[in-house]
Amino acid sequence: DVKVTQSSRYLVKRTGEKVFLECVQDMDHENMFWYRQDPGLGLRLIYFSYDVKMKEKGDIPEGYSVSREKKERFSLILESASTNQTSMYLCASSLRTASSGANVLTFGAGSRLTVL
């Protein structure tokens, strides 16, 4: 069964801590994404990557960075966590975009981060 695995389902961190959220996919997908989900705001794109060592900013990249050293792994990094980064974080992956056709994103189960 194909999967996107997020290493931590629940995390509690202190303000100012460095936080790593790890995501691994086993589908040999080129594209990987990090979204943030907040009630009433839907999902918002933080960063995405379309190849190893490549990254692109999404809609809300401030306060976050990413790393993609291997095709299957995409890490989200909060250099200095703040309380307003308390949220659900969703990782997803997909095949490289075709000119048409359903480029379905496959999502992980999510990581719920609380920053105190």
Confirm or reject binding of residue 110 to other proteins (CB under 8 A). yes
Confirm or reject binding of residue 7 to other proteins (CB under 8 A). no
Total residue length of the chain: 116
Kindly state the smallest distance separating residue 7's Cβ from other proteins, in Å: 15
CA dihedral 60, 35, 40, 86 (to 10 degrees): -80
Query: SS3 of 4, please?
Result: strand
Q: For 17, which DSSP code?
A: -
Q: How far apart are CA 23 and CA 76, in angstroms?
A: 8
Please report, as residue ranges, which positions from 38 to 67 form the binding site for other proteins (by CB under 8 A): 40-45, 48, 50, 56, 58
CA 107, 52, 95, 64 torsion-angle sign: positive
Stretch that binds other proteins, among 13-21, 34-42, 66-74, 77-85 (CB under 8 A): 34-42
Confirm or reject binding of residue 77 to other proteins (CB under 8 A). no
Give the footprint of other proteins on this chain (CB under 8 A).
31, 33, 35, 40-45, 48, 50, 56, 58, 88, 90, 92, 94-110, 112
